[in-house]
A and B are shown apart, each in its own frame.
Chain A
Amino acid sequence: MRLPLFWKIFLSFWLAMLLMLGSGAFLISQLRENVIFTPLAMGEKKQLKYHVSRFESRQFRKRHFPHLAKAKHKRGEDTLYLLDNQGEDYFGRVLPESLSLLYHKAKKNGKAYRVQQGDTLLFGPARTRFDRQDFLLFIKREESPMRLLALKILIHKFSLLQLFSALLISALSCLLLAWLITRPIRMLQTTANRIASGDLSVRARPALGRRNDEFTDLARDFDTMADQVERIIKSQKNLLRDVSHELRSPLARLQVALGLAERHAPDAQAPFLSRIDLESNRLNTMIGQLLNLAALERGVVSEDRTRFDISEMLHLLAEDARFEAAAKNLAVVECVAEELPVEGYYQMLYSALENIVRNALRHSPPGSTVEIKASRDDDRIEILICDQGPGVAEQDLEKIFEPFFRPSSARERDTGGTGLGLAIAWRGIAANGGHCRARNQQPAGLCMAISLPVAL
C-alpha cells in the first residue's frame, strides 16, 4: 500500500509527540517532590467503605492483627492505617511522611483525598469505629510496577477533556508541520509534471516565494536543469526541422536529376536508375517518419482535438487497405460496430491506425486475411487489427513499439518497413488517451489490440 509522505510525516511526528507527552508525564510524576492532593476515584471510595464495613461488622480483636493491617487488592497490596485523634497509628507504626500530610490536610478540610507518589498511592480517610474508639482509616497501596504506569498516571492525573485537547493540539500541530514540509515538494512535483507534459517555460523557484532553505536550493537546481532541458529540446527541434529541410532538398534535386537521366540513359541502365529511385524514396519516407516520431515524443500537436466516429475512420482504412491488399491477393475483413465516438486528434489517430494496418498488410502472406474489428466495451472502444503472418517472438511483443527495433526473426528488414511505423502508432494512440498491445494469435499471426476511451 502506498502511504503518501504527508501522512508518513504526520503519523510519525504525532506518534513521537504522544510518546514524549506520555513519558514526560511519567517522569514528572516520578520526580515530583511536592505532594498533590486529588479527589478520590470511585473505586477508592468503595474500597474505603468496604474496609470500614469489615471493621464494624465483625468484632475484630487486637490479636487479629497483623492480618487486619494488610489486604490483597487486584492492583497491588493494601496496607491499612487506623489513625486516632492525635494522628497516631493504632498499631503504633511509623507513618510515611506523605500520610502525615494527608492526615493533616484531611482533618483540616474534612475531606478525603488521594496522593500518588511513584508506585505508592495513599488515600483516605473514612471514619470508623474499632475497639471502642473512633479512627480515621487510610489505605496505602503499593502498586505493582509492571502495569502500564504512564497510562494510568495520565488517566489519573488528567481529565478526559485535557487528554482529548492534548491529542487534538498535537494532531493539529503535526498536520501543520507535515503540510509545511510536503508543500514545497508538491510544488516541485506540479512543476515537474507540467514540464513533462510539454510546457517547458514553467519554473519552480518563483512558486516557493520568499523562503530560503534547502527546498529553494533544490528548486533552483531543478530550474537550472529545466533551463538546460528547454535549451536542448529547442535546439533539437530546430535541428530536426533544419535536417528535414536540408536532407529533403538534395533528395528533391536528386529525383529531378534522375528524371532527366532516365530520359537520356541507355536501356541497360534503367534497372539501376529505378533502384536509385526506390532507395531515395525509402530515405524520404524514413525522414518523414522520423520527424513524425520526434514530434510525437516532444508532445507537439499541430491539430485541434475534435469529436469523430472512429468506425468511419476504420471503414476508410479498410477500404484503402483493400486497395493495397489486392496486389498481394489479401482479403481485408471488417467487423466494426456502428457509432464509436472518440474525442482526440483525428490525423494523429488516423496515421497511427494506418501504420498498424500497413504493418499487418506487409507481414501477411499472399492469399491470407487481415481482420479489422472494433466494438464498444463499456467506456472503452476496443479495436483489433490482426494478420496471419509469422507473428513475433513472445519476448519481443513489447519491444516492437520501440523505434528501429528489429525482431530476431528480422521480419522488418525483409519486408521493407522503416522500423518506425509501430513506434509512431504507439505514441499516437497514447497521445489520444489510449493504449496499444501486441499479441500473437493461434494458429499464426499478430494481433494489435488498441483501446481508446469513448467520448462522453
Chain B
Amino acid sequence: MAHILIADDDTELCQLLDEYLTQEGFTVTSAHSGASAADLVLAGEHDLMILDVMLPGLNGFDVLRKVRSQSQVPILMLTAKGEEVDRIVGLELGADDYLAKPCSPRELVARIRTIIRRANLAPPASTNGQVLTIGDVELAPATRDVIRNGDRIQLTAAEFDVLALLLGHAGELVTREQLCERCLGRKPVPFDRSIDMHVSNIRRKLGPAPDGGDRIKTLRGTGYQYVAINGH
C-alpha cells in the first residue's frame, strides 16, 4: 500500500483528500508547512509527495530544491491554474509531474497511480532490462542509473523514463504523444509543455555530446530524437 505525503497548508483540504485517498487504498500523511514536509519526506517513509507551491515558510520550490538535493522520491506538484511559469520552474527543479489546483480528485488519483507504478516498475518497458550504451552514456534500467563518462547523473523518475525511451530508439523519431503516454502515463493534453521541460532538463544534465553537438534533436513540433553516435 502506497504511502503518500500531502504538503498543503489548507488543513480542511488535507482532511478531504485524506478521506478520498484512503478510500482509494492509500495511506496518507499531511504536512502543513514546507519545513515539516521536507523533513518528513526525507525520512524516506513515503512513496510520493503531493506538493503545493503555496506553502508558508519554505515554499514549494524551496522544498523541492531541498528534497531533490538528497532524494529522487516522486513528487507531484500542485500549481495554481494559469501560472505556467510555476509549472516550468517546478519541472525544472525536478518535479515528476504537475497538476493544476484545484483539480478533480479522480485525476489526482490517476496521476498518483501512474507515478508510483513507474517508480516501482524497475526496468522501463522500452529497454527489455538491458543496459543501453549510446556513445558516452550508459543507462541501466535495473538500477535506474545513468552514467556518463563514469559520472552518475541524477535524474528524476520521469526524466529517466524519457531518456530511456529516447535511447531505446536512438536515431529514430519519438513523438511527443509517445513520450507522454509511455513516460507520464497519460494522453498528451493540448498546450502542455511537460515533456519539453523534461527533455530540456535531460539536455542540461547530460551536457553537450562529445563532438559538441546536441544529444537530443527537436523535430519541429512533432517530437525528439536521440542522436545515435556509434551507429546504434
Contact = CB atoms under 8 A, between A and B. Distances in A.
Contacts of A285: 81-82
A245 interface: yes
B12 interface: yes
B107 to A, nearest CB: 9
A421 B180 CA distance: 27
Interface residues of B, number: 31
B229 interface: no
Interface in A285-300: 285, 287-289, 291-292
Interface in A123-141: none
Interface stretch (B15-23, B69-77, B120-128, B152-160): B15-23
Interface centre among A253, A255, A263, A312 (most CB of B within 10 A): A255
Contact of A289 (B82, B102, B192): B82
Given A249-B13, A253-B13, A347-B84, A315 B221 contact: yes
A347 B17 CA distance: 32
A315 B221 CA distance: 5
Interface centre among B17, B23, B85, B105 (most CB of A within 10 A): B105
Interface in B1-46: 10, 12-13, 16-17, 19-20, 23
B88 interface: yes
A280 B102 CA distance: 9
A253 B16 contact: yes
A292 B191 contact: no
B191 A284 contact: no
Contacts of B142: none
A313 B190 CA distance: 13
Given A284-B102, A318-B221, A256 B190 contact: no
A277 interface: yes
A252 B29 CA distance: 18
Contact of A252 (B19, B102, B176, B190): B102
Contacts of A259: 20, 104-106
Contacts of A292: 82
Contacts of A288: 80-83
Contacts of B85: 302-303, 347
A268 to B, nearest CB: 20
A248 B101 contact: yes
Nearest to A289: B82
A37 B190 CA distance: 98
B220 A324 contact: no
A248 B218 contact: no
Nearest to A251: B102
B191 to A, nearest CB: 5
A161 interface: no
Given A254-B102, A285-B81, A291-B82, A260 B19 contact: yes
Interface residues of A, number: 41
B54 interface: yes
B230 interface: no
Interface in A13-36: none
A357 to B, nearest CB: 9
A398 interface: no
A258 B104 CA distance: 8
Contact of B220 (A315, A321, A347): A315
B171 interface: no
Contacts of A256: 13, 16-17, 20, 105
Q: Tell me the interface secondary structure of chain A in the complex.
A: helix
Contacts of B101: 248, 252
Interface string B195-216: 0000000000000000000000
A280 B81 CA distance: 13
B124 to A, nearest CB: 25
Contacts of B16: 253, 256-257, 260
Contacts of B221: 312, 315-316, 318-319
Given A263-B23, A347-B84, A249 B104 contact: no
B153 to A, nearest CB: 25
A255 B80 contact: no
Nearest to A323: B190
A260 to B, nearest CB: 6
Contacts of B192: 320
Given A249-B13, A284-B81, A303-B85, A323 B188 contact: yes
A302 B54 CA distance: 16
Contacts of A387: none
A252 B10 contact: yes
A245 B106 contact: no
Given A312-B220, A315-B220, A252 B13 contact: yes
B222 interface: yes
Contacts of B83: 288, 291
B84 A321 contact: no
Interface of B: 10, 12-13, 16-17, 19-20, 23, 54, 80-85, 88, 101-106, 176, 188, 190-192, 218, 220-222
29 contacts: A248-B80, A248-B81, A252-B13, A255-B104, A256-B17, A259-B106, A260-B16, A260-B19, A260-B105, A263-B23, A277-B104, A287-B81, A288-B80, A288-B83, A289-B82, A292-B82, A302-B85, A311-B220, A315-B220, A316-B221, A319-B221, A319-B222, A320-B190, A320-B191, A320-B192, A323-B188, A323-B190, A324-B190, A347-B84
Those 8 A-B pairs whose CB atoms lie nearest each other, nearest first = A288-B82, A315-B221, A259-B105, A252-B102, A320-B190, A256-B16, A288-B81, A251-B102
Given A251-B102, A280-B102, A289-B82, 12 more contacts: A248-B81, A253-B12, A255-B103, A256-B105, A259-B105, A260-B19, A285-B81, A288-B80, A291-B83, A319-B222, A350-B84, A351-B84
Interface of A: 244-245, 248-249, 251-260, 263, 277, 280, 284-285, 287-289, 291-292, 302-303, 311-312, 315-321, 323-324, 347, 350-351, 354
